[in-house]
Structure 1
Amino acid sequence: MALPWPVLAAAQSVQAAAVTATAPRAMVLDLPTNARRTAAQETDLGSYKVPISRYEQGRIQSVWAEGEVHRQAWQIQAPGLTTLQILAPLRTQLADAGFDTIFECEARDCGGFDFRYATDVLPEPDMHVDLGDFRFISAHRMGSDRPEYITLLVSRSAGRGFVQMIRVGPHIPGDTVLTASTKSPMQGPPQATPVATPQDAAVRPAQEGQTPTLTARLEAQGRAVLEDLDFTPGSATLGQGPFPTLASLASYLKTHPDRSVTLVGHTDAEGSLAANIALSKNRAGAVRQRLADLGVPSGQITADGVGYLSPLTSNLTAEGRSRNRRVEAILDTVQ
């Protein structure tokens, strides 16, 4: 439910801020020297629902913001860094630039899976979100004639950090809304040299020229598509198999009882959203049951579905629709 700006501030405060506000100025957030921008989208005049609450009772409360919209995704080489270590200096920079925090949350407090899929997120692989390890913050400051909003979404994989920034507000010339700095890279805690175990063989990275195994992708990227599944068209009936991806995933989970995954069903864009969400949830549930039949404890697997809300590619072609119909395993364990 979108809430109007007056809900967040008294009318007299907004009026006073508008009188004293200066001309819009670029918001430059310093990132480490090893940061790499992976995606950028700009709209001269657009809108964005700024989340201001956790996901509960089927929705996120939000502020409807209009103006120039910038969306960017960045990746940082950050082995050993936590999401809080990535977010904290950015949060401080926002405060120093005159932004007031409206809302801040951590994965489970945000609403986990539901929050992530109810808010705007740039697509994989440009922006990766670990459902069990992400942080979100929304902030605002008053411009000359309207408020300016920035949201930050931070997550990580085994060796990389991911930062998404969405800014909406008055026009700012140039491409300096978010930039990498020339400061020293972020330093994480010292990393111990790992000791190889027989179980590690299942997740060992592929050699050059080889395709990474499913479990290697799961460990490195936090997610993996179960590419060989076969469903009856239009139904959640899973074929008899055998399916090597399920055998591999089952083996991984049984040898790593401290790990858990969320199975997420996806569809193409044919049909209504409600019908596709129901179908995607049922297909993820069928995969969960098959993994349980293979001996995986039920406590290590959850299942959900998002219909056509998170496509891998365009639904305009038959090939694209085929790729978008899938079930993904998302590693939701936080070490």
Structure 2
Amino acid sequence: MTLHRAALTLLASFALVTTALADAPKADVSGSADHPVLKRFTGSVLAGYAQQDWEQRSFPDASGVSKTENDKFNRPVNLEGKATRLFYLGQLGKSPLEVFRNYQQALNAAGFKVTWQCESEAQGCVKAYFALDGYERAKGMRWAEGDVPGVGAEYRSSSWPLAMSISYDQARMLVGTLSSGGRTLNLLLFTSMAATEHTNRSATYIEIVEPKAMPTGQVTVDAKAIASGLQAEGRIALYGLFFDTGKTDIKPDSNAQLDQMVATLKAQPALKVLIVGHTDNVGSIDANLALSEGRAKAVVAALTQRGIAANRLQARGIANFAPVASNASEDGRGRNRRVEMVLQ
């Protein structure tokens, strides 16, 4: 801990001899917005922002920070889904405690369930600052124009870089889950002085990971892989075949996958296969049986139009009777919605 603090003190001393290059940012970074479930503390500027449609982020679990290592969470949990990162620079004169308490109050009122929190060095907040690793967390974020200027006669000609200017000064962290719209969101919130006590501003960093199925069908299974899968397992799932929700018409985006299926069948003229449609568990069994068979028939029709003899293909639909993942999550349901080639 002493080495970390010494390094930060040295960095701060370099900032003190610089002339302020810019004022604090006056407007949000371009293209950013508060997360729909959590609005900003009044007067704050959304100075840093990033959002990935599907990403993996690391949060601490209920055991918090490591007791033996100064810069590690004890048992970090990797979470996957839509990830939003937000960095707010507070209004001049508003303390990190006031900001933290307001967020805490708003979250508790919304049913927030705490996984781990700290409010002092004794509870692990300084360690949490180093475990958070602002350099890594800031990768890929966009930043507003401006710096974090010092205040007072001694520091008004000094400034500190804006990017991820959290600190261990008055640090507090809150980690937990929040239910919204039938989903459970994972949230991490860290507040502190911005860069140093000499800025008289708070900094708030928030990460929100919301469950979402990874976009599938982005990789077409080529003819060689199809042949290998059929030989090894007797079947292969093909996620490069696309349909609108509740529809049986095969979409043009499926052409690349269809071409590879045709290549496999032409390379092995004696090969006969079942085209089997599968659904998730949303909807009635009867509707899903009809939907899965309709999609299988659409694939068979597309293959015959490409020159494959109809007597080599049979279409079957088995609804959600053969899942490959749990239907309890969107990711699992996405994996269960598939078309398979199965050896006859």
Q: Same fold (TM over 0.5)?
A: no
- Using the size of structure 1 for normalisation, the TM-score is 0.35
Q: Which has the larger radius of gyration?
A: 2
- Using the size of structure 2 for normalisation, the TM-score is 0.35
